[in-house]
Structures are given as C-alpha cells and as structure tokens.
Amino acid sequence: MKGILLRTTQAAFLALTLGAGSAHAAGGHGDHAGHAAPAASAPIGKPGDPARVTRSIDVDMTDAMRFTPARIEVKAGETVRLNVRNSGRIRHELVLGTDADLKAHYDMMMKDPGMRHEEANAVSLEGGGSGQIVWRFDKAGTVSFGCLEPGHYTAGMKGAVSVQ
Ligand SMILES: [Cu+2]
C-alpha cells in the first residue's frame, strides 16, 4: 500500500513538474490534475545531460532550515550540477519546482511524511549525506526550490534560482 501511494504521488509530482502533457500520459491524479495546466505555463527546465554541465554549484542544507546559498543565478540554457550537502543531522531534501508545485507537494508530504523523492529534480539526503542534481534551466524566469520534509518548507527552508 505504501509503495503504491509513493509511486502515485511521485507520478503526480512529475506530471506537475513536467507539464500538462505528461499529466495525461501518467493517468488520473484526482485533485492534482487541476494544478498541471497552470504549472505548465512556467516550466522549470528538464533533467540535464551530465556531459553538458558548464558549472557546478555547492548548496548546503542545515538543521536551521536553510539552504546556503538560497539565491542562485544561472543563464538560460545552462546545464548546472547542484552539489547538495546535508550538513545537518536530520533528513533534508532539495526539490526544484514552481512555487505552486512545491506547495502542492508539501501538502502531500504532510499527509505522508515517509515519502522520499527520487525524481531527477530532487535529492533527499540523510544527515551528513551528499548528492547531486544535474539540471538544464531552459527559460528565463525563476525556478524555486525547497525542502518538503514536514515543517521544513513552512519554516523557510526554500530558495530560488534566477534564470537570466
Ligand atoms: Cu529540511
């Protein structure tokens, strides 16, 4: 049951993240299908090809519920490797998305705190762990990120990538 729920919510989040087209492909998502259309108007980019990475950026996560840096600037079309480190003791994650996606997904996390994110746009780390996201930022605008562990996002564990 848990596994099914996990996969369903992951699929819903992917659909939200990647846009309305994939929402249909992935099947019915109840309430979440309604969010897909507005999210599609603000695409956040796509998984990047590691061979095309032009820049690596270190991002630190702490138990003070902060990302450092919380503001990142990239150029449109740039493929970036985010080297993410959890220097806290508790689990944190970095999930890229629109504000609407992150809020919707955070609500799901509050209902199912055991959820883990293994999509290309997210990395979830135990205390002391490190991982990475390779992402291509396609369009000028702002791509948000946040830690969706219960209580963290609302405590201000969020940031933004400014794409120019
Ligand atoms: Cu956190």
Quick: pLDDT tens for 95-142: 999 999 999 999 998 998 877 777 899 999 999 999 999 999 999 999
Output the CA 102–ligand 1 centroid distance in Å.
13
Output the CA 62–ligand 1 centroid distance in Å.
7
Q: Which two tokens stand for residue 42?
A: 């603000």
Output the CA 5–ligand 1 centroid distance in Å.
22
Output the CA 109–ligand 1 centroid distance in Å.
12
Q: In the Cβ-directed half-sphere of 37, how many Cα atoms lie within 13 Å?
A: 3
Output the CA 6–ligand 1 centroid distance in Å.
19
Tell me the one-letter amino acid at 76: A
Output the CA 89–ligand 1 centroid distance in Å.
10
Backbone angles phi, psi at 138, to 5 degrees: -80, -45
Q: Which two tokens stand for residue 75?
A: 């150029």
Crossing angle of helices 33-40 and 2-18, in 10° steps, is 30
- Which residues are registered as beta bridge partners of 82? 57, 133
Output the CA 95–ligand 1 centroid distance in Å.
10
43/97 Cα distance (integer angstroms): 8
Whether the upstream peptide bond of residue 69 has omega within 30° of 0, thus cis, is yes
Output the CA 18–ligand 1 centroid distance in Å.
23
Output the CA 160–ligand 1 centroid distance in Å.
15
Q: Which two tokens stand for residue 89?
A: 């003791």
Contact 98, 39 (CB under 8 A): yes
- Three-class SS state of 20: helix
148/100 Cα distance (integer angstroms): 13
Quick: pLDDT tens for 62-100: 999 999 999 999 999 999 999 999 999 999 999 999 999
pLDDT at 28 over 90: no
- Confidence (pTM): 0.74
Domains of the chain: 2-163 (2.60.40.420)
Output the CA 147–ligand 1 centroid distance in Å.
5
